[in-house]
Amino acid sequence: MSKLLSQNIESLAEFLAHALELEVESAERYRELADNMRVHNNPEVSELFRKLAHYGDTHAAEVEQRAAGFELPYISPWDFKWSCPEAPESPCMEDAHYMMTKCQALELALHNEIRGRDFYAQVANGSSDPAVREAAAEMAAEEDTHVNMLREWVAREACVTEKRPLDLDPPHMPE
């Protein structure tokens, strides 16, 4: 398990603010990837990313329900307590390629769900606040169900580690 938490989270409101941002950012990123795949005529992967965005939206709504009655603190993007520049469950744009296969997209999603689960587990193990530990442990367990679902999906697709196909006509970005 890689270190995804830069410092401990010590209040339930702060934890819920982190969890909400993690889920919202993940859903937004998957939507961006779905749009990119659609533009590049990769409808199967676009649809997969759209489905993953929907799961993120659903999870964000669950966090919002859990946060009802709390005044969540505003946290500047540079003050989030994850150790990576992006939220742990957000796919990096560099990891996506317009020619990626469904299996590559599933592997990317699996990687992100593992990072999300590990982030919540690290919060649960590091906080001194029992309410934070309990909420984070519940969310880590929920993320673990997502990890298992994606592992089963990868197995159903009979995915094998694939190399990115050679792009004989790569897109060129004007400088």
With CA atoms as reference, report the closest residue to 28 among 65, 57, 51, 48: 57
Q: Residue 82: beta bridge partners? A: 5
**Structure confidence at residue 171 (pLDDT):** 56
Task: State the Cα–Cα distance between residues 20 and 155, nearest whole angstrom.
Answer: 30
Q: What average pLDDT does range 9-22 have in this prediction?
A: 92
Query: 32: phi > 0 → left, psi -120 to 50 → alpha, else beta; which?
Result: alpha
pTM attached to this predicted model: 0.80
Q: Which two tokens stand for residue 17?
A: 């603010």
Q: Mind listing the pLDDT tens digit for each residue in 78-106?
A: 777 776 667 777 666 666 777 788 888 88
**78 vs 27 pLDDT, higher one:** 27
What topology does CATH give the domain 12-73+94-156? Answer: Ferritin (1.20.1260)
Task: State the Cα–Cα distance between residues 143 and 107, nearest whole angstrom.
Answer: 15
Asked whether the beta carbons of 13 and 131 are under 8 A apart, the reply is: no
Token look-up 């982030």 returns 119
Instruction: Count the neighbouring beta carbons within 10 Å of the beta carbon of residue 126.
Output: 16
**Structure confidence at residue 58 (pLDDT):** 94
Task: State the Cα–Cα distance between residues 141 and 175, nearest whole angstrom.
Answer: 45
Q: Mind listing the pLDDT tens digit for each residue in 117-169?
A: 999 999 999 999 999 999 999 999 999 998 998 899 889 888 766 565 555 55
**Structure confidence at residue 162 (pLDDT):** 56
Instruction: Using the predicted structure, report yes or no on whether residue 63 has a pLDDT greater than 70.
Output: yes
**Structure confidence at residue 71 (pLDDT):** 92
Instruction: Using the predicted structure, report yes or no on whether residue 9 has a pLDDT greater than 70.
Output: yes
Max mean pLDDT among 16-20, 81-85, 106-110 falls in 16-20
**How high does pLDDT run on average in the chain?**
84
Residue spans per domain, the chain: 12-73+94-156
